[in-house]
Structure 1
Amino acid sequence: MTEEKITLTAQPPFYGTVLKNGSQGPDCAMVQTWINGLQGRWPSLPKLTVDGKYGSGTAKAVSQFQTLMGLTADGETGRNTWDALYTAWAGQKGAGEVFCGIIIVAAAKGAVVKSMQQKLDVCAAVYKSINKPETDGLFGSATGAAVRRFQREMGLSIDGMAGKTTWNKLVEATAAIRAGNPLPSAARYPNTVLKVGSTGDSVRCVQAWLGAVQNTSLKVDGQFGTGTRNAVIVFQTAAGLKADGMVGSATWNALRAAFNATL
């Protein structure tokens, strides 16, 4: 059996939407990235601009690849072409999922978005400040919130979009969790004291960390109420800190370290 006859299921798996001239988004960028990885084997394949826009140049390159692989040369990327592209790319670069090549933003959809959501779900099981988005391949508000919260936990710039740095950290964090050695939280102190009445994702971090450290089911809702205050006081007392129920930099750093010790 020749290499061309062996077809792997792509990473990420085909989403179900045929990509063709006029299509846009991360999946189109993935096709462009895979094709660009094949020039070493097939120098005749054109070098594409990875912009996520499936124009005539991308369609022509896909058609040329299909001809080389004995597929119907229609210039469109359905399941068979998607898997064949990945298989050929993996043969050159090694199997595994890579960054698609463009920033993944709100309203994007497809296989790349679904894979990102699945990784966020894995991370949310450990870093409970992160909400679990639906793994439907649709980049809506819940997915954006999960990306922002992941970025906060990992100490990254927080913009709610998945560029190369965020994507690679998400891959790294997911692999670490699956290997049983989660990455430590690197969430930075928000430079404002958190107390009763405070809201937001920094409060979610505090609540998630307290729940893990104290092994309680403290609600992670981003609302600093009396329940959160009481849990902070318990932590501060045990840690030898001023037990005022407020989270300044000393309590933040001690709590983050205590959470990381639970991982």
Structure 2
Amino acid sequence: MYTRYVIRPGDSGIGVNKMQGYLNIMQENGFINTKLLLDGQYGSKTSEAVKEFQRYAGLAVDGVIGSQTWDSLVDKLRDMGVVTNIPVVSPTFFLGAGNSGLDVFKMQEYLNELSAVNPCLRPVPVDGNFGNRTIATVSQFQYLYGLTIDGRIGKATWDAIVNERNKIKA
């Protein structure tokens, strides 16, 4: 399902940056050995850390963040009671109109999980494409949670979406 959406070596941006931070939490808690620089660049060291986590989680070890690796990592953080607050290396790292990929796909899934318990949020198509419906729902989410309303998923909106999703999944 949506296997075309992965985060892999050579990619950069907020999805990579956040995953590096999540992997560092795994390292700090003794689940993996590799400590990463939060630079938002998916290089060989990030791939190594992903492989370590995949081995720990019993997943296929390919060094690529697909949906299973993403879910396993975020679910482990939830199980640990970790509230995400990972810094973002660049103000240009955000998801917005025209973006596509696994990070958009997962944020759409999370927004729909939140809309299932909050009728003020409209569900969005989960297609990995950041279009008008995603912009509208992100803006609604930002309004409801007291965030700057810009229809984009930057650091504060990302953390709020992940943390609220983890609360309802707990």
Please classify the TM superposition score into its range, dividing by the shorter chain length. 0.5 to 0.7
Partner residue, 2:47: 59
TM-score, normalised by the number of residues in structure 2: 0.62
DSSP-derived class of the 2:26 partner = coil
Partner residue, 2:22: 34
* CA distance in 2 between partners of 1:25 and 1:165 (Å): 15
* CA distance in 2 between partners of 1:115 and 1:76 (Å): 20
AA aligned to 1:105 is L
AA aligned to 1:109 is G
Structure showing greater Rg: 1
Q: Is the 8 Å Cα contact of residues 144 and 161 (structure 1) preserved in structure 2? A: yes
Unmatched tracts of structure 1, length 5 or more: 1-13, 179-263
Identity across the alignment (%): 29
Partner residue, 1:48: 37
Q: Is the 8 Å Cα contact of residues 111 and 161 (structure 2) preserved in structure 1? A: no
Q: Shift of the alpha carbon at 1:90?
A: 5.3
Tell me the C-alpha RMSD between the 2 structures.
4.1
What whole-Å deviation, never above 9, does each CA across 1:192-243 have from its counterpart, x for those lacking one?
xxxxxxxxxxxxxxxxxxxxxxxxxxxxxxxxxxxxxxxxxxxxxxxxxxxx
The answer to whether the aligner puts 1:148 opposite 2:143 as a matched pair is no
DSSP-derived class of the 1:38 partner = helix
Specify which of 103, 109, 112 is matched with residue 106 of structure 2.
112
* CA distance in 1 between partners of 2:46 and 2:135 (Å): 29
TM-score, normalised by the number of residues in structure 1: 0.44
Partner residue, 1:23: 11
Q: Shift of the alpha carbon at 1:49?
A: 0.9
CA gap 1:64/1:123 in 2 versus in 1, 3 angstroms: closer
Q: Shift of the alpha carbon at 1:50?
A: 5.3
Q: Is the 8 Å Cα contact of residues 27 and 112 (structure 1) preserved in structure 2? A: no
Q: Shift of the alpha carbon at 1:41?
A: 0.7
Matches within 5 A, 1:1-263: 16=3, 17-39=5-27, 40-42=29-31, 44-49=33-38, 51=40, 53-66=41-54, 73-78=61-66, 81-82=69-70, 85-86=73-74, 89=77, 93-94=80-81, 98=84, 102=88, 104-106=94-96, 107-110=99-102, 111-119=105-113, 121-122=115-116, 125-126=119-120, 132-170=123-161
AA aligned to 2:33 is S
AA aligned to 1:94 is G
* CA distance in 2 between partners of 1:80 and 1:174 (Å): 17
What whole-Å deviation, never above 9, does each CA across 1:150-197 have from its counterpart, x for those lacking one?
333444322112234334555677799x7xxxxxxxxxxxxxxxxxxx
Unmatched tracts of structure 2, length 5 or more: none
AA aligned to 1:144 is I
AA aligned to 1:35 is L
* CA distance in 2 between partners of 1:108 and 1:136 (Å): 9
Aligned length: 158
Partner residue, 1:214: none
Highest relative contact order (Cα 8 Å, sep 6+), 1 or 2?
2
Q: Shift of the alpha carbon at 1:36?
A: 0.6
CA gap 1:120/1:50 in 2 versus in 1, 3 angstroms: farther
* CA distance in 1 between partners of 2:166 and 2:68 (Å): 28
Q: Shift of the alpha carbon at 1:74?
A: 3.8
